[in-house]
Amino acid sequence: GEDVEQSLFLSVREGDSSVINCTYTDSSSTYLYWYKQEPGAGLQLLTYIFSNMDMKQDQRLTVLLNKKDKHLSLRIADTQTGDSAIYFCAERNYGGATNKLIFGTGTLLAVQP
């Protein structure tokens, strides 16, 4: 089945690390993406990882993938107020019949000054 799940809300203090979690269900070769959406705006691609990788780091962002549990996390180091937004994880089956992205419901990150 196709189901991507995320926790709904996360609140952190400025300067702390944020960890946003996601679980996915596709069992074949999969690309997993993190997008950021600010109020009233479209989606900004942050990073992606292929399902045969364990970790990917890009500046303040670290993606960890637990393939056994189909669990994905996005860690934001030194969280800033400008990081306040909704974060979506999405999966796309590679090599399958479809190229569509399947999104989670999003996690609202609130950064307290």
Partner 1 sequence: DTGVSQDPRHKITKRGQNVTFRCDPISEHNRLYWYRQTLGQGPEFLTYFQNEAQLEKSRLLSDRFSAERPKGSFSTLEIQRTEQGDSAMYLCASSSGGRPQETQYFGPGTRLLVL
The residue (of 40 and 82) whose beta carbon lies closer to partner 1 is: 40
- DSSP character at residue 111: E
Q: What phi, psi does 82 have (nearest 5°)? A: -70, -10
Q: Which of 41, 53, 77, 110 binds partner 1 (CB under 8 A)?
A: 41
| H or E element that contains 39 | none
Is residue 4 at the binding interface for partner 1, with CB under 8 A as the rule? Answer: yes
Please give the full DSSP string across 68-99, using - where no structure is assigned: TTTEEEEEESS--GGG-EEEEEEEEETTSS--
Is residue 40 at the binding interface for partner 1, with CB under 8 A as the rule? Answer: yes
Give min distance, CB of 14 to partner 1, in A: 26
Is residue 44 at the binding interface for partner 1, with CB under 8 A as the rule? Answer: yes
Query: CB under 8 A: which stretch of 11-19, 27-35, 54-62, 77-85 binds partner 1?
Result: 27-35
Is residue 31 at the binding interface for partner 1, with CB under 8 A as the rule? Answer: yes
| CA distance linking residue 33 with residue 96, whole number of Å | 17
> Is the separation of the CB atoms in 87 and 36 below 8 Å?
yes
Contacting positions for partner 1 (CB under 8 A): 4, 31, 33, 35, 40-45, 48, 50, 88, 90, 92, 94, 98-106
